[in-house]
Chains A and B, each alone.
Chain A
Amino acid sequence: MREVAVIGVGMHRFGKTGDDIVGTKSVGELCRTAVDAALKDAGVKWKQIQAVAAASSRFSGGKGWGLNGNDVVEDLGSTGVPVYNMSAGCAAGGNAFNVGYSMVAGGVYDIMLVVGGEVMPKGMIQTSGVEEATDPEFLRQRCIGMPGPSFWSTLARRRMFEYGTTEEQFSQVAVKARQCSVHNPNARFQKAISLEDVMNSPYVSNPLRLFQICPVSNGAAAAIICSAEVARQFTSKPITVATSTVATMTFDDMLPRGLADPITDCPNLHTEAQNAVTSAFERSAIGPGDISFTELQDNTCYYELAFPEEWGLCKPGESERLLMAGETTPTGSMPINPSGGFVSFGEATTAMGVFQIAELTWQLRGQAGGRQVPDAKVGLAQTLGLGGNATAAILKR
């Protein structure tokens, strides 16, 4: 395996259809902005890209078949390069990065583009839309009536029972996230909010409130990756990919995903995420104690408290104390989501895995401005997607 480097990243600021940020831009236009920025950042010309790994979307572009990478290549100029369109729900951006990383590490290509972009439909994310008794999503909706946010509020309620977490503490995660977003020009929301603002926002699914759950957004992100040898032609300070991993859930997982699951003694609720992160630690020989900061998938504030414990970044039940002591802010001892996270960006589903790579790169280069993690040396990124998909990546300088 060869060492792989990130030499350029770019992003289109996240927004909502019709607003002043993304307006009516297509996913192709959003991706173009992100890719142009990443190429410029790397000092690489489009014709030097040997292959493309793209996140597949079922919501926008991709000719209705998730061929989003082909859209990008046609737009930038059809050079005949191989395109890999990766589908893994909200983990697709992370999957695309992993495929790019694996290809370059394995010596198949020397320089690749990794890209993810999304224009989201309005409202809650709809599931399959299939109305058949053989479809578990349909059964859950028709027989029980369980909309998406209920899944997250079930987890939040359990944490309140196990650790005494308060609604104010969930709210404090959002306050912390939005404080970071003030310093992120790519965030959709860039205004700080108070604890009172969060507590006054309506319940979407008790105990979780509107400002504690990420909305859907439009946005795009891109990264140029290459072998360490090629990187030296473009920069004296490449960011090194220590590892990139993909995992799926295991049978003993106790997360309530369908109508019913066999009860096991597995304490972990997101085995796919734990498997991806644990595998990243093992492959890179980098441990939780070596991580300078983490970008994790905070669809809701609950995850900022639960995930660090499940991965060994801190002890079980310790997250609330660390949060309240300010240790999860960029200048704390365990910075989480210095970008502002999904709560500040909104989720442009398949762009998120690449969005995290961009933030890790800016942080490790020391280019993160007012949200900079001081002396950031090693960053951890993690995504989670429908179907029991997860990815992790560790970048270092």
Chain B
Amino acid sequence: MSEERVPCVEGLFSEENGVAVLHGSKCSNCQTPYFPRSAACHNPDCDDSNMEDFDFGGKGVLWSYSVADFPPPPPHKFDQPFVPYVMGVVDLDCGLRLIAQMVEKPEEVKVDAQVQLIIDTLYHEDGKALTTWKFKQI
């Protein structure tokens, strides 16, 4: 029996037919993408903020990454025992520079690698797997 999977924060993302989808928005006037959703366009050169819901995801290139070598303070949550993890900053083809954990170990990650957005487990609580968006090198 597979464990119950629950988003770590509701409404930000979903997994549709195994594909990771981030729920953001886009200004239809200047095409600026936002994640999470934004109520207004923040582009000072845009004089007609017109926000529409927009889903993001897909592939991108790893701009850089860092490693959490020590357990971070609350409100961070992670499974015990703590295992150092990688956080990637990715330039997605859809126009967002997005931050997420990487599924790979620190020694496996390479700047400039092609990555895919996925949904994966972040930590466990009350018998459930709490999920978030992550990157996987391809």
Contact = CB atoms under 8 A, between A and B. Distances in A.
B6 interface: no
A254 B22 CA distance: 20
B64 interface: yes
B96 A260 contact: yes
A141 B74 CA distance: 8
A150 B85 CA distance: 11
Given A138-B75, A142-B77, A263 B96 contact: yes
A133 B10 contact: yes
A262 B54 CA distance: 13
A143 B10 contact: no
A123 interface: yes
B9 A143 contact: yes
Given A251-B42, A256-B99, A262 B33 contact: yes
A204 B101 contact: no
B133 A143 contact: yes
B73 A126 contact: yes
A190 interface: no
Contacts of A261: 96-97
A204 B72 CA distance: 10
Contacts of B98: 259-260
Interface string B57-89: 000000111111110110111100000110101
Contact of B97 (A149, A205, A251, A263): A263
A147 B10 contact: no
A256 B89 contact: yes
Contacts of A1: none
A157 B99 CA distance: 15
A206 B66 contact: yes
Interface in B110-130: 111-112, 122
B69 A146 contact: no
Contacts of A131: 75
B72 A157 contact: no
Contacts of A153: 66-67
Interface string A126-157: 10010101001011111111110111111101
Nearest to A160: B111
Contact of A251 (B10, B44, B73, B75): B44
B76 A139 contact: no
Interface residues of B, number: 49
Chain A interface size, under 10 / 10 to 19 / 20 to 34 / 35 or more: 35 or more
A242 B92 CA distance: 44
A205 B8 CA distance: 24
B44 to A, nearest CB: 6
Interface string B90-106: 01100111111100001
A146 B99 contact: yes
Interface in A183-221: 202-206
A123 B133 CA distance: 28
Contact of A206 (B10, B44, B67, B91): B67
A153 B8 CA distance: 25
Contact of B101 (A145, A203, A205, A256): A145
Given A144-B132, A150-B68, A260-B35, A157 B111 contact: yes
B73 A205 contact: no
Contacts of B101: 144-145
Given A205-B68, A206-B106, A259 B95 contact: no
Contact of B12 (A141, A143, A149, A161): A143
A123 B98 CA distance: 27
A259 B96 CA distance: 10
A387 to B, nearest CB: 14
A135 to B, nearest CB: 10
A237 interface: no
Contacts of A259: 35-36, 98-99
14 contacts: A129-B75, A131-B75, A143-B133, A144-B99, A145-B87, A150-B87, A154-B66, A161-B111, A161-B112, A205-B66, A206-B66, A206-B84, A263-B91, A263-B97
Given A147-B73, A263-B95, A263-B97, 14 more contacts: A136-B36, A139-B12, A141-B76, A142-B8, A143-B122, A147-B70, A157-B66, A205-B67, A206-B69, A206-B84, A256-B63, A256-B99, A261-B96, A262-B32
